[in-house]
Amino acid sequence: MKKIKFGSLFFSILLPLAIGSATSLLVNKFSSFDPYEYMPRFTPPDIVFIAVWTALYVLMGVSNYIINNHSDTSEAELRQANSTYIYSLAVNVVYSICFFICKWPLLSFFVCLYLAIVIIQTICQYFHIRKSAAWLQVPYALWVSFASALTFAVWWLNW
């Protein structure tokens, strides 16, 4: 077992947390508190979203740390996996902007589905590098699948 590089682990966790926090601040600044008149009954309380996203960002960071520091793979394969991971973070930001700021739930639904595909691609790339890192991305994929259903329901109830 390789030694943990705490600086690298810290940065790997900090990156998604910082992006998530910045997105949250952006949404809070430019969005009303409850942008949609009707919300599905299965909408979790806000505290659940905060807790789940925090946990997911930590898992994503640890997962990314593992592939970058505890694998014996080619630089090209690592570069591709890292690019897909960073891209998934960017698509996540786009979703938040579309859903909360622009209030386009149907477009947000399609962005969320696309995000799920990118996450699955990340999982597949991570799986070839380090299985444990791939498994840490699975909760993110499951949550985004739930978010897709929730987003579709918001659109359906408010169109």
* Secondary structure (DSSP) of 28-71: HHHS-SS--S---TTPPPHHHHHHHHHHHHHHHHHHHHHHHHS-
Which pLDDT value is given to residue 32? 66
Per residue in 2-38, pLDDT (tens digit) is: 789 999 999 999 999 999 999 999 999 987 656 688 9
Domains and CATH numbers, the chain: 6-30+42-158 (1.20.1260)
Per residue in 50-106, pLDDT (tens digit) is: 999 999 999 999 999 999 998 789 999 999 999 999 999 999 999 999 999 999 999
Which pLDDT value is given to residue 153? 97
Q: What's this model's pTM, rounded to 2 decimal places?
A: 0.93
